[in-house]
Structure 1
């Protein structure tokens, strides 16, 4: 015997009939018809208010289209978008529409955005690759050289029209401003030279706190950069604040506010003169200016150089005995038990450590930084010998 098809309307009628005939458990009735109690009560309410007509399917189309706007206003949105070299966004267009059509409801920013999008007047934003979050928790420091912080104070133009990028380095515990060097960019080579000079003069810190910008971090595996790789080889653990959270390096940011007022109003004529201002500021900040956080002592009176001297030769990284060590090739690959793992070009020539953390699951480290993990049973590629490092 063929099955009988039951239309949605018939199902509702049968449900109401059973409900009126068997005023028992409403939950069991709904369960028998495969509907929720909310839907069952809705059908009963519609039947009681409008009879069988109330059970008819209703259009799900909204009664009014909120973003339907007159053609004249749509035309004005497109005109405002086209005018000038710098295209206006929905927020500014909305303000101008309220002035041009004061007697009409002003469209929302979302409606204006949708109009521009439908007309092809918006270019899709390029998705930026995010820097991998720092695996190390930010912890305070109670003694000098436990933690240094570094940052580039916002660049500014000097009198000769050229840009100055001040690189500042400060000891966290004592607030001693170790360096304030004006550079013409944020390149690795120039930045490394500043840190090398500071390491030779003051010794090495245990940790270095920075933001996620160049040259401190990159979108490479582990968020590493050439600079942070060098720090790790020196035994310095890099730690990065969260994106958009400058308060996590609040002491450094507060020093920058003082620096800005002291040396950029007005800026000097050239980099040499500007460096003179930086040097004078360091002397005043470290030796003359009392700090409330230091019980009104000066940073110089609270700082002492590190006992860890800058080495003549870059030491090799050491790993625990239960780690397996693998060297990264020039193309960024590590070869392990006949398989290939892409580690990253930044670590070419470096040794990484592999720790087995589960059945066939290995974690990969560069010094103290965990780069990611892989499962030796999940291979891919044409030769079925490629392992993916998952962060």
Structure 2
């Protein structure tokens, strides 16, 4: 393994080669060659010997990693450390007590195995999180539904307090005439149907009053058109196992659009984790960001927030760039 020469090195790989050839091939004395290149006698001798053994390839920097580490943690112990971390979520101190090692040594093993943080481990299964990303836009869409309670007239309890929030819910019930069981106020639910592209993280969303198969299929159809306008051809769509995604209408809609439908494994929402994480961003950035005086006001603000998310908001999963920037050069206009 080769590394770049540090900035203060007396000899670059090219200069080392010239120095070694003067000694080995041209017969210069080591002392004279060392003086010529302003290095010490041992340095000149070392590069000449490496040239004799390895040739031109030996002029590059070698890895500083030792060939043999007799005091390295034995592999059976490493496997036990990893097992305790995955299955019992123990920290370095607790693991060190069970394997009779120093906590610092256990921590180094966890870092080397990339499980030093519990966020790197799936809390449900104890297995390392397997991250994936498709290699081009449209290869895979994620679709799901985010359910939000409708905002009563005057604002919800998060901003006006529980007492005023209950009063607002009552006033909304008096206006709409909608009651729940036992005549409790009912303001309904907002079903936000969301679609994001796996590669670019571009997002499309619509607010509806239901999550039926007809609504989900219509959202997918409009989302495909929305992505097509931006030069993205959709190939697959991944959903959970909700009823609307198990319907014949959903299957037929995907067939008509030329899309392959896929579903996550039951009780395994992590597979669709990108859209689950998007829902959290959606909630903080739009749904609960400020006081909305009505549900209509909140729904009207969704389009503006989506534009901010797609075109301006830095996305940490794609290097701090906005999702729209990953659509650059789709038609090879810069290559």
What's the TM-score, normalizing by structure 1?
0.38
More strand by share: 1
Q: Which has the larger radius of gyration?
A: 1
* Higher relative contact order, chain-length normalized (CA < 8 Å, sep 6+): 2
Give TM-score scaled by structure 2 length: 0.45
